[in-house]
Amino acid sequence: MSSHPKIDDDLRAKIIAEPTSILDDRDLMHALIAANDRAIGSNVVDLRGIAMERLEARLDRLEDTHRSVIAAAYENLAGTNQVHRAILRMLDPTDFETFLRDLDGEVADILGVSHMHLVLESLQNDGDSTIERLGEVLRVVAPGYCEIFADGGRGAPPRQVTLRQIRNGEEVVYGAGGEYVRSEAVLRLNFGEGRLPGMLVMGSEDPHQFTPQHGTDLLAFFAGVFERTMRRWLN
């Protein structure tokens, strides 16, 4: 009997010339290991094979983690670019009314939200003409309302940004369109000493756009820029 294996000469020569092509092929390596297991019989424990299986499982987990980290990095980069574009658009207007109208217009479109409202606390709402003209984006409420709205009436420690899923939006903030809002971001605003606070509320019809599990750093940065811009208009 010949000691040479029954394999095509051309294929054998190619394998000898490029042995790494077999080592890099996971399916082929599995087939070779399975053939070796059959050859040594079922009464022999192949510790090397078991170790290889565990290493492969660990490698698979590492690859999954690697893909998840890369995906999260791309998502964070996209979110950063989105917020930066919204801020640049917010800084474009040269008059206050255009600045506020753009919030619920191009700025909201860039951020991908269905609603954006500026809520200001005031000691009185005397039907100012500016408030009437900007009624779609501007809401005027009684002192203390922003804190109650932001923490949901639970009396929790104040946070600058609150993300949550809701059944429907508060009518005082969203008006009639609030029934379609399923998640919201509440950005608390501090306009400086001697001024009542306010908040910027973003609402979405997507229940997964704003959830407590999401990071708030970018929205906190957006709120900080908005506060400083508003102080310029309020001076």
More reliable by pLDDT, 16 or 2: 16
CA distances from 10 to 7, 32, 203, 222 (A): 9, 20, 67, 66
What residue type is assigned to position 85 of the chain?
Answer: R
Q: What is the pLDDT of residues 127-183, one digit of tens each?
A: 555 556 666 888 989 999 998 998 876 665 667 899 999 998 999 999 888 899 999
The answer, yes or no, to whether residue 32 has pLDDT greater than 90, is no
Residue 136 near residue 104, CB atoms below 8 Å: yes
- Residue 29's H or E segment, with its range, is helix 26-40
Return d(Cα 219, Cα 217) in angstroms, integer. 6
More reliable by pLDDT, 72 or 218: 218
Give the model's pLDDT for residue 54.
Answer: 77
CA distances from 201 to 64, 89, 94, 178 (A): 36, 18, 23, 12
Average pLDDT of the residues of the chain: 82
Q: Which domains does the chain have, with CATH numbers?
A: 85-234 (3.30.450.40)
Which single residue is written with the structure tokens 């054998």? 12
- Other Cβ atoms closer than 10 A to 114: 20
Query: 1 pLDDT band (50/70/90 cuts)?
Result: very low
Contacts of 120 (CB under 8 A, 6+ apart): 138, 139, 140, 141, 196, 198
Give the model's pLDDT for residue 6.
Answer: 66
